[in-house]
Amino acid sequence: MAVTYRDWLLDDSPSSRLQAGLGRSYRVSMALARNPLAVAGALIILTLILMAAFAPWIAPYSATGQDLTNRLMPPSAQHWMGTDELGRDIFSRIIHGSRITLMIVTMVALISAPIGLVVGAVSGYFGGSTDRIMMGLTDIFLSMPKLILALAFVAALGPGIENAIIAIAITAWPVYARIARAETMTFRDAEFIAAVQLQGASSTRIILRHVLPLCASSTIVRVTLDMAGIILTAAGLGFLGLGAQPPLPEWGAMISRGRNFILDQWWVATMPGFAIILVSLGFCFLGDGLRDVLDPKQENKQ
Amino acid sequence: MRISAATGRILGRLGGAARFAAVVAFTFLGLLAITFFIGRVVPIDPVLSVVGDRATNEVYEAARKAMGLDRPLVVQFFAYVWDVLTGDLGQSISTGRPVVQDLIRVFPATLEMATIGILIGVLLGVPMGVTAATRQGSFSDQIIRVLGLLGYSVPAFWLGLVGLAVFYAGLGWVAGPGRIDFFYDGMVDPVTGLYLVDSLIAGETEIFWNAVSHLLLPSFILGFFSLAYIARMTRSFMLDQLSQEYVTTARVKGVPEWKVVWRHAFYPIRIQLITVIGLSYASLLEGSVMIETVFSWPGIGNYLTTALLNADMNAVLGATLVIGAVFIFINKMSDVLYRILDPRAR
Amino acid sequence: MTRPLLEIENLTVTFPTAQGPIEVVRNVSFTLGRERLGIVGESGSGKSMTGRSILKLIRPPGRVTADRMVFDGIDLAAQSDRQMRHLRGARISMIMQDPKFSLNPVMTVGAQIGEALQTHRPMARSELQARVLAMLEAVRIDGPERVAGLYPHQISGGMGQRVMIAMMLIPEPDLLIADEPTSALDVSVQAQVLDIIEELVSGKGMGLILISHDLNLVARYCDRILVMNSGEVVEECVASELANATHPYTRGLLAAMPRMNEDREELPVLDRSSWATGAGT
């Protein structure tokens, strides 16, 4: 065969959107594969996803099954990470807990990123007073302490995992609005936007079909980098008893339970902490790698 | 010619000050709107949370009127703004005292911890960042990169617990939770509310060292997070500076390398660093919520979480408002300092 | 004959890249007395790298090798960083391309000039002040007291470059390297800046290496000319005999220069095929 798949993917003048899209993903993944930290991050996250998907099959014990004769057992061959105060296997609980962590980060990203993108793109596209008002509001949210705001929202909404997700999402969107606006401003006056306008496309159509896709890559980078912060906030809410409620094996709540035994049975509180650190680091590594590939100019921004 | 330029500059700065005041006022109003929204709109029925669900209709209506909830929302909002401006944040149901008084009492504890924390962060973080940038790719550079990433991925409350287990229970290097050993409690007159200062004023060095021993671990943990951020930012600012032409110019002049690094590369970024340090300080106030809970530190963070668990909304909103206000103030202040200190912006 | 100020033999500068090491300067040799030498070439020809390697300013991962690199009897290759610092500024100095980037934005002009002198000859504040003002006057800056207190962004490009000259000449070096000193400036002030350099250099009997892409300019201000192309010296001649240059690259450059009263429709484009050798890429 004269033309390999690789050549087709790397074609400089792709003949369809699909080919262009696949080619781009191929180039990005090739560049990522050359960065060992990014690969490590991707592997950690892949493991997290697999763990969440197959939790009941992977976990050696049930997440909620109590065994009061085996309370607070140190790590051993039977219980790799020991057991908690109700005799539950901590390793199994951590595996099941990955489902909760994954759900929280996914939901927060799915709620806050689109809100931020739309606010930012609309603001940047229309400019003028629309821009001033929307960015004024965004700036107010941006200059608030995120964790405190999330705490206050949960206090008003009531504890629980759904409310924690809503509260975190409310505090997370302004960053994406800023990014989307900055991106939109750079190509708002570009020829191709003018061309679509001349064809009579509506503003909604232009924003949805032409502006938002171009903001996507920098937003993806930012969302990946923010994941660690989201995980930490969610765990913090869980630790304070405001997030996932017992007996759910949420990692922050598990640390909170282990607090009473920290001096003698260190593993109860420590093990879930390692899980949080590992997953957060995974997102950091991947985010750093993605940024280097997709958006090198963001290096210094926080 | 020069006089008019100077006048213009002063007028420009006055205009800048007015603009700054307007932005801060606007942001504060936004903060108030958010706390108002959280306190009065989000809960399904704020009256019910006050009178309880067994109250009669008359009691309920009376309470509703007394709370001013029969008025339009806008009027309620302005009443709320007025209350806050006159220093009325309502009563705390758990302490039975005005929230403002509670906050004044607990704030110094947080201030003390966060200030020591930021000092640790700056004094270690800035030199680390500079070193990492001047020896890019070296071992110390790698260490700082790892520390920076850990700063983003380690939960503060977990680190606090592990720290207690290791350094207090295990090694016995530091004192345990609380600000001071309980038998010293109340032995020093609260002048500033900062134990380090108060004990020195009273001449009680023993209490001073006890307070230091309690302060060390939580401050270091807070400091670690600001260190991670400050070192990372310093490194990236410095890398940018060291590649500038004027740094080469300094080398061409034969300026010693330490002067090239500190005078020519570091000096220009000190203004950017002030912003970073300001942001970091503000986020330490926020981070203290978790740390204080772990260390039973009687500061504003602990007050907030206790109130959260007791559904004491006035106290929650009051603490949120104060932390938010300080946060916004530091945030905007570092913005302004940047503009005042940078000769290019003059 | 007195010994030459600078002798360079087989200077090579290498940078590693993903595609293997690249020699940006290859086997460059020349000697320089107390005269004015011009180095001409297009951007990327290695002329700036040549200038910088004399001051040992090529930082890792770049690598400099030379059979001989002697300045006034001092073997540059053998000098430690510390010893180089005593040479830089004091004996060999360099004027950089664009004052917008090469002056420190947050130090006053006076402080930057003063630092250049103070580094090598510690002296009292008042004396330093006087020397700085005198130097500013020497580069024809009016109101030196006022200018000394200004920040680089408050002065024009032409004035910035004169400040640069003042800064580099105040310790009275023996050799000045001027790396494209006028290419960032308006045409109207270019000649003025070069005249100042020329006047001060000849007045003090210094050596000058003028690096430029502008053949005309180099021919006018220099005694001898080196023409560089992709890292190599392709032609060396006395400035007045430039018209008799033999290498096809130099001839091409000469042909591409616009002349007064000419009637050519188009300036010829360099035909690179005639001198491309196996060593080139």
ipTM score for this prediction: 0.84
User: Is residue B77 in a domain?
Assistant: no
Do residue B29 and residue B162 come from a single domain?
Answer: no
User: Is residue B318 in a domain?
Assistant: yes
A contacts of B164 (beta carbons < 8 Å): 262-263
B contacts of C115 (beta carbons < 8 Å): 250, 253, 255
- Domain borders along chain C are 6-258
* pLDDT tens-digit readout, A265-276: 888 888 999 999
On whether any CB of chain B is under 8 Å from the CB of A234, the answer is no
Q: Distance between CA atoms of C45 and C233, rounded to whole angstroms?
A: 9
Q: Over 70: is that where the pLDDT of C59 sits?
A: yes
- Quick one: pLDDT band at residue A280, thresholds 50, 70, 90? very high
Where do the DSSP E strands lie in chain C? 6-15, 22-32, 36-40, 63-65, 68-71, 74-75, 92-95, 175-179, 207-212, 224-229, 232-238
**pLDDT in the model for residue B221:** 93
Q: Which of B45, B68, B91 is the last residue before a domain boundary?
A: B68
**pLDDT in the model for residue A260:** 84
Contact predicate B189/B198, CB 8 Å: yes
Closest partner residue to B252 (CB to CB) among C93, C103, C151 is: C93
User: Is residue B331 in a domain?
Assistant: yes
**pLDDT in the model for residue A117:** 92
User: Is residue B83 in a domain?
Assistant: no
**pLDDT in the model for residue C278:** 43
- Quick one: pLDDT band at residue B314, thresholds 50, 70, 90? confident
User: Is residue B94 in a domain?
Assistant: no
Do residue B46 and residue B188 come from a single domain?
Answer: no
Do residue B43 and residue B175 come from a single domain?
Answer: no
Do residue B50 and residue B139 come from a single domain?
Answer: no
- Alpha carbon separation from C130 to A89, C123, C136, C201, C239 (Å, rounded): 81, 11, 10, 21, 39
Contact predicate B177/B221, CB 8 Å: no
* % of chain B at pLDDT higher than 70: 90
Do residue B22 and residue B154 come from a single domain?
Answer: no
Q: Which residue reads 């006035």 in tokens?
A: B314
- Please tell me the number of Cα atoms within 13 Å of B244 on its side-chain side: 23
CATH number for the domain formed by residue range(s) C6-258: 3.40.50.300
Q: What is the CATH number for B249?
A: 1.10.3720.10
β-pair partners for C208: C36, C176
The domain A41-60+96-299 is classified under which CATH number: 1.10.10.10, 1.10.357.10, 3.90.1750.10, 1.10.3720.10? 1.10.3720.10
Whether the upstream peptide bond of residue A246 has omega within 30° of 0, thus cis, is no
Picking from A145-149, A248-252, C115-119, which range would have the lowest pLDDT averaged per residue? Answer: A145-149
- Quick one: pLDDT band at residue B343, thresholds 50, 70, 90? low
Do residue B44 and residue B169 come from a single domain?
Answer: no
Do residue B38 and residue B136 come from a single domain?
Answer: no
A contacts of B30 (beta carbons < 8 Å): 137, 140-141
Closest partner residue to B152 (CB to CB) among A141, A239, A280 is: A280
How would you classify residue B137: left for phi > 0, otherwise alpha for psi between -120 and 50, otherwise beta?
left
Q: Which residue reads 């201000």 in tokens?
A: C221
The domain in which residue B10 lies consists of 2-68
Do residue B153 and residue B291 come from a single domain?
Answer: yes
Q: Average of pLDDT values for C108-133? A: 90
Q: Which chains touch B (3 or more CB pairs under 8 A)?
A: A, C
- Quick one: pLDDT band at residue B50, thresholds 50, 70, 90? low
How many beta carbons lie within 10 A of that of residue A12, not counting itself? 5
C contacts of B252 (beta carbons < 8 Å): 55, 57, 88-89, 93-94, 96, 168
Do residue B49 and residue B133 come from a single domain?
Answer: no
The total number of structural domains that make up chain B = 2
Picking from A67-76, A97-106, C74-83, C223-232, which range would have the lowest pLDDT averaged per residue? Answer: A67-76
Q: Between these two residues, A73 and C86, which has the higher pLDDT value?
A: C86
Q: Between these two residues, C275 and C130, which has the higher pLDDT value?
A: C130
Token pair in block for residue A91? 């390793």
Q: Is the Cβ pair A155, B316 closer than 8 Å?
A: yes
Q: Over 50: is that where the pLDDT of A89 sits?
A: yes
Picking from B55-69, B194-208, C124-138, C199-213, which range would have the lowest pLDDT averaged per residue? Answer: B55-69
Token pair in block for residue B320? 């949120």
- What does pTM read for this prediction? 0.82
Token pair in block for residue A2? 């004269």
Do residue B290 and residue B180 come from a single domain?
Answer: yes
